[in-house]
Chains A and B, each alone.
Chain A
Amino acid sequence: MALRTEEIIVNVGPQHPSTHGVLRLLVTLSGETIIKVDPVIGYLHRGMEKIAEKRTYIQYLPFTDRWDYLAPMFNNMVYTLAVEKLMNLEVPPRAQYLRVIAMELNRIASHLVWFATFALDLSAVTMSAYMYGFREREEILDLLERLSGGRMLYSYICPGGVRGDADDEFLRQLDKFLDKFPKKIEEYETFLSQNKVFEFRTKGVGVLPLETALNYGVTGPCLRGSGLAFDIRKVQPYCVYDQFVFDVPIGDNGDCYDRYKVRIQEMREAVKIIRQAMEMMPKGEIKKKLPPQFKVPEGETFALIESPRGALGVYLVSNGGTKPYRLKIRAPSFSNLSVINEIARGAKVQDLIAILGSLDILLGEIDR
């Protein structure tokens, strides 16, 4: 009897722990090899762009928290940056440094969630790495709570400056955290970096060639893992990022392991940036007073910043009123996910989870 082969379609999600949100993947398989991956998205679509057209500029700020709910500081920042650019608003210098501190802390927190869940997905070290990641994240959330009043959704960075100053207790605790955190990163690396099972699951898996990455508009650690040192903080500095000394880590092969390495390294760089920002931060005002309903001059602008997931942008068109005329969100996860069919094709089915995890997508941002 001849052996018969047949393609089958496997449905992954939308409710599945390894999809990190409500994502559905239609995976066409031949045996164990992936022929095609068709992501089905939109389960979390809340109409964030339409809502913006119905709210005043300040009213919309809390909505920005909900785009990428693991890194809301960046959403606040990019929205604020677009508004400030159109208004030509000068921001007090202390506020700029506080923004950097808040954002880099948030970057570490976001990377820690990625690290914890990625390790869990690969079941390399089961629960312990997961718990380690969340343990340090908890401390960051405490710090950010002290700074902004919120643990998850901050609305901290706002047009004109920031809401809430850093007191001595915050700076003392931050200093303590920065002292011990680099040692914790080493601890994470002892879990995974030399782990044979982890290497086997990630090295040479999900290779993303540089040209493909650029063609699909992939940015952030995924692009840097493919070997291009493209970081908006360096290329087009915003806030006061041009004043800090830090490296842009890159990978060589563009596989899952390189993307892991880049993110781990980025946490170290974030610590370096926060240290410098703490030293350079001047005293003074933290917010420029604005009326609750201000008008934004007519015009259009495109603001772009480096979020933990990549280049996060806002295209803002104003007609001179108190509400945005059009607000388009350029979400890095959206572009990063679109490449999955390209890099998962030909891989084995268990690699799909590693690839998806290594892309570090966030559905709130993809669906908006």
Chain B
Amino acid sequence: MDKEFLEEFKKEFPGVEIKEIDGKPTVIVDKEEIVSVCDFLKKRGYVLPVSISGVELEDRFEIVYHLFSISRATWCVVETFTSKDDPFVPSIYEVFRGADWQEREIYDMFGIVFEGHPDLRRILLEEGEDDYFPLRKDFREDGSPN
């Protein structure tokens, strides 16, 4: 992300923390802002939603969005968090259609609900009677429910 764009971003979203992680500019936003941030980035050239990943941290879940700008050939990483008791994040389906399956996969693996997703159901695993989310750290591999 170039300096000029960084200033523009700061003006649009004051109070957002910007760090450089792994050589990529990383913005850490509240989950309420995620849709508007992604929309802003898309309009400014970050058109390719490369990857959306879920990570379980000690006390909360992290959602990481890797967006790529083809015209600038640069990255922008967006990170947001949600609590473990009631994990939900607004869906960016309306901004990037690529989020459709990626968010379904995170729901499948972590049980994080994406609000506003039109078709949020499991994608790789079977619907079961009990909720089971294998990528959570407390997932019991002997098959018993968490």
Contacts and interface: CB of A to CB of B under 8 A. Distances in A.
Nearest to A311: B50
Contact-residue bracket for chain B: 20 to 34
B45 to A, nearest CB: 11
B66 A315 contact: yes
B25 interface: no
A42 B125 contact: yes
Nearest to A50: B134
Nearest to A228: B70
Nearest to B105: A334
A317 B53 CA distance: 11
Contact-residue bracket for chain A: 35 or more
Contact of A217 (B98, B125, B134): B98
A46 to B, nearest CB: 10
A41 B24 contact: no
Interface in B83-102: 96-98, 100-102
B56 A326 contact: yes
A215 B50 contact: no
B109 A49 contact: yes
Given A311-B50, A330-B51, A367 B124 contact: yes
Contacts of A204: none
Contact of B50 (A42, A85, A217): A217
Contact of A45 (B54, B66, B125): B125
A235 B101 contact: no
B64 interface: yes
Contacts of A302: 22, 24, 51, 66, 75, 77
Contact of B101 (A301, A313, A334, A368): A334
Given A214-B47, A328-B53, A335 B101 contact: yes
A217 B96 contact: yes
A291 interface: no
A130 B47 CA distance: 38
A119 B69 CA distance: 35
A292 interface: no
Contacts of A45: 124-125
Interface in A306-345: 311, 313, 315, 317, 326, 328, 330, 334-335, 338, 342
A327 B146 CA distance: 22
A294 interface: no
Interface string A69-91: 00000000000000001000000
A300 interface: yes
Interface in A287-304: 299-302, 304
A313 B123 CA distance: 20
Contacts of A236: 73
Given A236-B73, A313-B50, A315-B51, A300 B21 contact: yes
Given A215-B96, A304-B50, A335-B98, 17 more contacts: A42-B122, A45-B124, A49-B109, A50-B135, A85-B22, A216-B98, A217-B48, A217-B49, A300-B21, A302-B22, A326-B53, A328-B51, A328-B53, A328-B55, A330-B50, A335-B101, A338-B98
25 contacts: A41-B123, A42-B124, A42-B125, A45-B125, A47-B134, A214-B48, A215-B49, A216-B100, A217-B102, A228-B70, A302-B22, A302-B66, A302-B75, A302-B77, A304-B50, A315-B51, A315-B66, A326-B55, A328-B53, A328-B55, A330-B51, A334-B102, A334-B105, A335-B98, A338-B101
